[in-house]
Amino acid sequence: MSERNAILEANQRYSQSFGRKGELPLPPARRIAILTCMDARLDPAAYAGLQEGDAHVIRNAGGRASDDAIRSLVISYKLLGTQEWYVIHHTNCGMEFFTDDTMRSLLASSLETAVLGADGFEDVGKGPGSKAGAFVNWLTISDLRQSVIDDVRRIREHPLVPARIPIHGFIYEVETGKLLEIEEASIIGAAREGAGSD
Amino acid sequence: MSERNAILEANQRYSQSFGRKGELPLPPARRIAILTCMDARLDPAAYAGLQEGDAHVIRNAGGRASDDAIRSLVISYKLLGTQEWYVIHHTNCGMEFFTDDTMRSLLASSLETAVLGADGFEDVGKGPGSKAGAFVNWLTISDLRQSVIDDVRRIREHPLVPARIPIHGFIYEVETGKLLEIEEASIIGAAREGAGSD
Amino acid sequence: MSERNAILEANQRYSQSFGRKGELPLPPARRIAILTCMDARLDPAAYAGLQEGDAHVIRNAGGRASDDAIRSLVISYKLLGTQEWYVIHHTNCGMEFFTDDTMRSLLASSLETAVLGADGFEDVGKGPGSKAGAFVNWLTISDLRQSVIDDVRRIREHPLVPARIPIHGFIYEVETGKLLEIEEASIIGAAREGAGSD
Amino acid sequence: MSERNAILEANQRYSQSFGRKGELPLPPARRIAILTCMDARLDPAAYAGLQEGDAHVIRNAGGRASDDAIRSLVISYKLLGTQEWYVIHHTNCGMEFFTDDTMRSLLASSLETAVLGADGFEDVGKGPGSKAGAFVNWLTISDLRQSVIDDVRRIREHPLVPARIPIHGFIYEVETGKLLEIEEASIIGAAREGAGSD
């Protein structure tokens, strides 16, 4: 069975026992938003106990506070009323295994999937590649704990983010399924006092 | 109980019955990536039948093919081997309810959450706001079906995306839980023939 | 004579009387940077009295404080020591004559040059166009004075810009060649007191 | 005399002998656009023989084909009719002297101007700095000739750029004032045959 058909079959089962989820309102019931990685091993609904309707979930490569993630967060509070945000990176993240230079060079060589060997990623494709990768900031991670701190700080300092929203920083352990708070990040991300009406 | 504590309690239960998920490999087992909206009512693992380890899931406001989503997709195939992508927007999406001008004006007025009345969003906050919203393309949606087609096309035409990856376009119905294929999008997103080695 | 040859001929004359300009150092002698529009009628060296070696000149459509302009300004002070910046928009700017919607629609219709008629820009090209324009914030201008103020404020509030750099806001009159200061912008852009060592 | 006053005095002289330049039309008379570096030693009007009204001039750090430069170029042809583009980088460019890592580390240390010593840029400021630099692609240059080729190619391949516009690649020698064509770039940037009506 093709992946497309497998998805459609699973979706048919899901919709058949959909219950009253069609009545859920647009704004998140628990007023929270989570920014986390696209990694296949992460299921934020499962690891954080979210039901349909509870929370906005934003995901990209690394769970990084990119401009696009901040666009989404601003829509999340400004139009849909979320009041508390979580930045959740994770152990064994693919973003730790390469640099911008690696990625640019791999893409310039070919667009085929690279192979991860003992010496890092190697290209095995037969061109052509594209130089367009040189214009992308791949948002790689060199220190996992630091990336959580940096991303919480970037959101905290962003001119469109109100001071009253607390931003928590966590690491999810793919080995154990556990969430570990990064206190330094959560302190930086704390709502500022007297910020109730900013 | 605070939201933070509720999340940590749910996470404790999750990690206690984590089983052997700690052994899952980094590359997605089913070699697929899904780009969908951050909307709280969507649980892509549930509506598409995904287990931990199966698929990359990228989410932002609208499920749009932003530069950041394309960054994530390129990492997804180039380093982690996904071979098939799904763009899944949804009915009753918040991105249909405002324009860039609305958002800029609301943010310039205050950073507080706006109220959705009969005449659209109205600001009730007491400044200060920020003009920084004028520099953001909010990626709003004026025609849902067209937004799926446009996003599939944007990914298809991107110089870093290989021609051999099929890109499917869908709408998820929040009223019924059903996935509806947008054939015009999937035709545009089809892998190009003879593209096996590009 | 082709444009290319005309440029090369002019360049030959320029290089023949190049004098000792080859000895100019890399950092700008007058330690200033100017951000202004790409408009053909503007010659910032002429209108602001700049010699080769004096000042960084950054130009884009509108003279806007885009992310790329801020990238350039940060390099300008951090590596090359500029200490004072000027944002200079101008009257009769092309950026006032269209909206994002106009541009998206024109580009979707064809990539050919549009014609400016009594009812605004009209497309006369024979497709195909591209929907990729929907993902661009064209940074149009609806109020010229306000755009100077907004851009000075955006630079002033940017986390990478030090508080000690004054940012002046001006409008250049293409009808008279005169620079007119926008005082509200320059007040917002003033160096912050006690910011000498930030 | 302050820099601001020196500029205003020079501008007064310029406007006093402004002649009939106030009658110049908005579209560039010679229908060309030049993308070049913000470097203080470059005066594109002088080195390429441009009069007020002749050509669009886009400048940023490096003269790079950033998204913002492409935004400007698309406006240049789509609304204002330019038909031929020049990408002009230059020798001894500051963008060759650092990497993204250098810049991120310097900015994280302090926002003060760094000092260029024998071992490269060193920070002498007394913090605080900002981590926000980690989210910027600084578009540094590691090979000057290659950067011209890459930028011409990026523009050529961009979905919003019509095939009929030729894009020429040049290096400007700051030591001699001479323009040197990079033939490989100009070949990549050549208008595509039969592209008259794309």
Which residues of chain C does B65 touch, with a Cβ-Cβ cutoff of 8 Å?
Answer: 135
Mutate which: C1, C15, C50, C68, vs D, most D CBs within 10 A: C68
**Six-digit token pair at A106?**
């791999």
* CB contacts, 8 Å: B100 with chain C: 100, 137
DSSP D45-73: HHHHT--TTSEEEEEETT----HHHHHHH
Q: Which chains touch D (3 or more CB pairs under 8 A)?
A: A, C
Q: For residues D66 and B193, which has the higher predicted lDDT (pLDDT)?
A: D66
Cβ contact A177–B14 (<8 Å): yes
Q: Which two tokens stand for residue D159?
A: 């979905």
Asked if C157 and B132 come within 8 Å (Cβ–Cβ), the reply is yes
Q: Which residues contact C109 (CB under 8 A, 6 or more apart)?
A: C123, C125, C127, C129
Give chains near B: 3+ CB pairs under 8 A. A, C
Partners of A37 in the beta sheet?
A60
Distance CA A188, CA B184 (A): 47
The residue among B45, B24, D104, B31 whose CA lies nearest residue A91 is B24
What digits encode the pLDDT tens for the residues A12-60?
999 999 999 999 999 999 999 999 999 999 999 999 999 999 999 999 9
Question: What confidence category does residue C124 fall into, taking pLDDT thresholds of 50, 70 and 90?
Answer: confident
- Residue B64, min C-alpha distance to chain A (Å): 10
Say how many C-beta atoms besides its own lie within 10 A of residue A55's C-beta.
27
pLDDT digits (tens, 9 = 90+) for D46-95: 999 999 999 999 999 999 999 999 999 999 999 999 999 999 999 999 99
Quick one: C94 exposed, middle or buried, by C-beta within 10 A (0-12, 13-18, 19+)? buried
Say if domain C28-96+140-191 classifies as CATH 3.40.50.300: no
A15's enclosing H/E stretch is helix A3-16
| Interface with chain C: mutation pick from B87, B135, B145, highest number of C CBs within 10 Å | B135
**Partner-chain residue, chosen from B131, B137, B153, that has the shortest CB–CB distance to C154:** B131
Q: Closest Cα of chain B to C156: distance in Å?
A: 11
**Minimum distance, in Å, between the CA of residue A144 and any CA atom of chain B:** 16
Model confidence pLDDT, tens digit, residues C14-44: 999 999 999 999 999 999 999 999 999 999 9
Reported as a pLDDT band with limits 50, 70 and 90, residue B196 is very low
Q: What angle do CA B54, B55, B57 make, to 5 degrees?
A: 145
| Calpha distance B45→C161 (Å, rounded) | 42
Q: Range with the lowest mean pLDDT among A186-195, C130-139, C162-171, D38-47?
A: A186-195
pLDDT of residue B118: 83
Dig out the tokens for A177 from the structure.
């399924």
Give the single-character DSSP code of B193.
T
Q: Do A56 and B39 touch (CB under 8 A)?
A: yes
Domain ranges of chain B: 28-96+140-191, 99-139
Find which of D18, D71, D86 to mutate to test the C interface (most C CBs within 10 Å of its CB). Answer: D71
Percent of chain C at pLDDT > 70 equals 97
Q: What is the mean predicted confidence (pLDDT) over D172-176? A: 98
